[in-house]
Every structure is written in C-alpha cells, then in structure tokens.
C-alpha cells in the first residue's frame, strides 16, 4: 500500500466525521496518539509499537485530509529539496 492509498482509505472511511470535528480537535487526538507511542516505545511490545505507529499515520492522514494536503506529494517535494546534512 502506498501513502496515497492509505490516505485515500482514511478519507473514504472517516472524512465526513473528521471534517465535522475540525483541525483543533483532530490535532488533539493526534497528540494523544503520539503520547501512546511514547509509552509503547518504552516497552518491549512490538505489536503495540506497530499499532501506535499505524494510529499516528492514520491521524496524520486525517489532519492532512481535512486540510487538503496530499501527504505523498508533500513527501515527494520534501525529498526533492535534497537537504544536505541534518535538518
């Protein structure tokens, strides 16, 4: 599955509800998932880590969708800048 395919899947499944919730509330859900990932990273539970990484990607796609951002395109543009060293 590509990033675009995953983002589209999220859009098809959740967009109506996500747009009603809006960006501020959706961002808070995203931040909560980041906290859950932080907890998972401190453990040896690989399955939970995978779940939390997927949750974060799903919420990131949600934020992108309700803000009309194509993540695949954004990543391609990021890569094309050929940033040297560390950012």
Structural domains of the chain in order of their starting residue, each with its CATH number:
3-13+22-76 (1.10.287.1080)
Please check the confidence at residue 2 and state whether its pLDDT lies above 80: yes
Neighbouring C-beta atoms of residue 21, cutoff 10 Å:
16
Q: How confident is the model at residue 82 (pLDDT cuts 50, 70, 90)?
A: confident
CA distance 34 to 3: 19
Per residue in 18-75, pLDDT (tens digit) is 999 999 999 999 999 999 999 999 999 999 999 999 999 999 999 999 999 999 999 9
């Amino acid at each position: 599955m590509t990033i675009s395919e995953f983002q589209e899947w999220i859009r098809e499944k959740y967009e109506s509800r996500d747009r009603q919730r809006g960006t501020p509330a959706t961002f808070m859900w995203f931040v909560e998932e980041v906290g859950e990932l932080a907890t998972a990273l401190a453990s040896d539970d690989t399955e939970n880590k995978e779940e939390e990484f997927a949750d974060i990607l799903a919420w990131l796609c949600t934020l992108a969708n309700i803000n009309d951002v194509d993540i695949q395109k954004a990543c391609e543009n990021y890569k094309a800048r050929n940033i040297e060293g560390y950012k």
